[in-house]
Amino acid sequence: MKKTSPLLPANTTTTSKKPSLPTSLSKYFWDCRFEELSLEKNDLFIASRILNFGDWKAVSWLQSHGGKALIQMTVKNRRDLNAKTINFWNMMLHG
Protein backbone atom coordinates (compact mmCIF):
# COMPACT_ATOMS: atom_id res chain seq x y z
CA MET A 1 0.00 0.00 0.00
CA LYS A 2 1.52 3.30 -1.09
CA LYS A 3 0.93 6.62 0.55
CA THR A 4 2.27 10.12 0.09
CA SER A 5 4.11 11.81 2.93
CA PRO A 6 3.32 15.51 3.48
CA LEU A 7 6.99 16.32 4.13
CA LEU A 8 8.52 14.44 1.23
CA PRO A 9 8.56 15.90 -2.28
CA ALA A 10 5.18 15.58 -4.01
CA ASN A 11 6.36 12.96 -6.48
CA THR A 12 7.68 10.72 -3.69
CA THR A 13 5.58 7.85 -2.43
CA THR A 14 6.31 5.54 0.44
CA THR A 15 5.34 1.97 1.04
CA SER A 16 4.69 0.17 4.28
CA LYS A 17 8.40 -0.68 4.35
CA LYS A 18 10.15 2.25 5.99
CA PRO A 19 12.85 3.91 3.90
CA SER A 20 16.26 3.48 5.44
CA LEU A 21 18.68 6.30 6.05
CA PRO A 22 22.13 6.18 4.46
CA THR A 23 24.66 4.54 6.78
CA SER A 24 26.84 7.64 6.45
CA LEU A 25 24.35 9.42 8.73
CA SER A 26 24.68 6.91 11.58
CA LYS A 27 27.44 8.94 13.27
CA TYR A 28 24.86 11.65 14.07
CA PHE A 29 22.59 9.20 15.89
CA TRP A 30 25.04 7.66 18.35
CA ASP A 31 22.40 7.45 21.09
CA CYS A 32 19.63 5.88 18.98
CA ARG A 33 18.83 2.62 17.28
CA PHE A 34 19.79 3.93 13.88
CA GLU A 35 18.22 1.05 11.96
CA GLU A 36 14.81 1.94 13.43
CA LEU A 37 14.83 5.57 12.29
CA SER A 38 12.93 6.65 9.20
CA LEU A 39 12.48 10.06 7.66
CA GLU A 40 8.77 9.36 7.39
CA LYS A 41 8.29 8.85 11.15
CA ASN A 42 11.17 10.81 12.66
CA ASP A 43 11.54 13.70 10.22
CA LEU A 44 11.99 16.61 12.65
CA PHE A 45 14.32 14.66 14.93
CA ILE A 46 16.50 13.54 12.01
CA ALA A 47 16.51 17.02 10.51
CA SER A 48 17.51 18.67 13.79
CA ARG A 49 20.44 16.28 14.27
CA ILE A 50 21.65 16.86 10.72
CA LEU A 51 21.26 20.63 10.94
CA ASN A 52 23.07 20.75 14.32
CA PHE A 53 25.88 18.27 13.65
CA GLY A 54 25.86 17.27 9.99
CA ASP A 55 28.34 18.05 7.26
CA TRP A 56 27.38 19.42 3.84
CA LYS A 57 26.90 15.94 2.43
CA ALA A 58 24.36 15.15 5.18
CA VAL A 59 22.60 18.49 4.69
CA SER A 60 22.45 17.87 0.93
CA TRP A 61 20.86 14.48 1.58
CA LEU A 62 18.32 16.11 3.92
CA GLN A 63 17.53 18.79 1.34
CA SER A 64 16.99 16.26 -1.43
CA HIS A 65 14.87 13.89 0.66
CA GLY A 66 13.05 16.25 3.00
CA GLY A 67 13.07 19.51 1.08
CA LYS A 68 13.29 23.12 2.10
CA ALA A 69 9.93 22.90 3.92
CA LEU A 70 11.29 20.31 6.35
CA ILE A 71 14.35 22.45 7.07
CA GLN A 72 12.19 25.53 7.62
CA MET A 73 9.81 23.65 9.90
CA THR A 74 12.72 22.24 11.90
CA VAL A 75 14.37 25.62 12.38
CA LYS A 76 11.05 27.17 13.39
CA ASN A 77 9.75 24.46 15.73
CA ARG A 78 12.58 22.42 17.24
CA ARG A 79 13.97 23.58 20.56
CA ASP A 80 17.03 21.35 20.46
CA LEU A 81 18.83 23.38 17.78
CA ASN A 82 21.66 25.50 19.13
CA ALA A 83 21.58 29.28 18.66
CA LYS A 84 24.34 29.32 16.02
CA THR A 85 22.50 26.71 13.97
CA ILE A 86 19.24 28.66 14.15
CA ASN A 87 20.94 31.90 13.12
CA PHE A 88 22.82 30.23 10.26
CA TRP A 89 19.72 28.53 8.84
CA ASN A 90 17.57 31.64 9.22
CA MET A 91 20.13 33.54 7.15
CA MET A 92 20.36 30.75 4.57
CA LEU A 93 16.59 30.41 4.24
CA HIS A 94 15.56 34.05 4.44
CA GLY A 95 18.63 35.93 3.26
Distance between start and end Cα atoms, the chain: 41
Q: What's this model's pTM, rounded to 2 decimal places?
A: 0.78
Give one DSSP letter per residue of 61-73, joined into a string: HHHHHHHHHHHHH
Alpha carbon 35 to its chain centroid, in Å, reads 15
For residue range 6-38, list pLDDT tens digits in order.
554 554 444 445 558 999 999 999 999 999 999
Is the pLDDT at 81 greater than 80? The verdict is: yes
Q: Rounded mean pLDDT of 41-66? A: 96
> What's the whole-number average pLDDT of the chain?
86
The C-alpha atoms of residue 10 and residue 15 are separated, in whole angstroms, by 15
Distance CA 71, CA 2 (A): 24
